Amino acid sequence: MKYYILLVLCVLFWSGNFVFGRLISNDISPIELSFYRWFFVLLILLPFILIHYRNLLIVLKKEYVILFVLGGLGIAGFNTFLYYGLQTTTATNALLINSSTPIFIIIFSVIIFKSSINKLQLFGVFLSTIGVIYLILKGELNHILDLHFTVGDLWIIAACIDWALYSVLLKYKPKELNSLEFFSITTLIGTFILYLVFIYQGYSLEFSFLENKEVLYSLAYIVIFPSILSFYFWNKATIEIGANKAGQFAHLMPIFGAILAYIFLKEKVQGYHLIGTIFIALGIYLSIFFKRNEN
């Protein structure tokens, strides 16, 4: 039972990342939030990295291509896209669109690994796609004619695609690294990539934004809970109960997110949220359920 509790907490913390990212979206730029999030995580991991630097360096020299790809996608890319999206879309919408990520994982698995997909799974992908489009158009189908939609929703789609590709490519994770070592080296790489973008966009390393208490407390939450504790809880529980069962807990994110968004952001669930969610949920059920039956 305790492992299921850990998974629930893990998903709850991840949902909070969407809400608090939206809360401070007007006070700190997306690239700043993404960079400083992982910069502080890296500082916390630094003692571990220094103790294990020899093994990390050996593996990095041998597997630098896949480690840079995974660090770029999982650390640098996903959260940056997410925070850009949260500037112009609601946390509720972002969480619902994010729930389509399993569909993108199936699509990339078919493309990269030539995984088989049957007609019902394909229909599931279609239903989820309709659900995402319905959410992007805010339930106003006539918007598709004049392309009147929120750019932020497209950033969230980019984040979903990024995370799906990262998840599929995890198959190539170097076996010489345990979970914490892998997290540490990809955090180091991802933070380095973010720093280059951070400097390129004209920012400098300064911490005056932390004088804003809302930013300070939100960043502290994002660093400790979604970044470190969720990672620990997810890996510990997944090892014990298996990836298939653990993966289903991600579908709790829209529920937790809607509650948190109502409390902290005063966002309300609209009718188009429910309709879009039904399409996405049904699509995920058809795609994943039937795929599991075949294996």
pLDDT digits (tens, 9 = 90+) for 214-255: 999 999 999 999 999 987 887 778 767 765 566 667 767 777
Q: Report the 10 Å Cβ neighbour count for 12.
A: 21
**Cα torsion 33, 36, 39, 43: sign:** negative
Q: What DSSP letter does each residue of 51-107 carry, written as one string?
A: HTHHHHHHHHHHSHHHHHHHIIIIIIIHHHHHHHHTTTS-HHHHHHHHTTHHHHHHH
CB 261 within 8 A of CB 86: no
Q: Which whole number is the average pLDDT over 70-92?
A: 92
| Percentage of residues in the chain having pLDDT higher than 90 | 42
Residue 239: the pLDDT is 64
Residue 20: the pLDDT is 93
Q: Which whole number is the average pLDDT over 77-87?
A: 94
pLDDT at 144 over 70: no
Q: Report the 10 Å Cβ neighbour count for 211.
A: 8
Single out the residue of 291, 282, 289 nearest to residue 99, CA to CA: 282
Q: Which whole number is the average pLDDT over 166-173?
A: 86
pLDDT tens digits along 181-204: 999 999 999 999 999 999 999 999
Q: Which residue has the higher pLDDT, 113 or 249?
A: 113
pLDDT tens digits along 254-280: 778 878 888 888 887 778 778 877 887
The continuous run of DSSP H or E covering 41 comes out as helix 30-51
CB 233 within 8 A of CB 10: yes
Q: Which whole number is the average pLDDT over 99-124?
A: 78
pLDDT band at 52 (very low <50, low <70, confident <90, very high): very high
pLDDT at 30 over 90: yes
Residue 293: the pLDDT is 47
Q: Across all residues in the chain, what is the average pLDDT?
A: 84
Q: Which whole number is the average pLDDT over 47-52?
A: 95
Contacts for 97 with CB less than 8 Å, ≥ 6 apart: 132, 135, 136, 153, 156, 157, 160
Residue 190: the pLDDT is 96
**Cα torsion 284, 287, 282, 100: sign:** positive
Please give the Cα distance from 6 to 26 (Å, whole number). Answer: 32
Residue type, 146: D
Q: Report the 10 Å Cβ neighbour count for 271.
A: 8
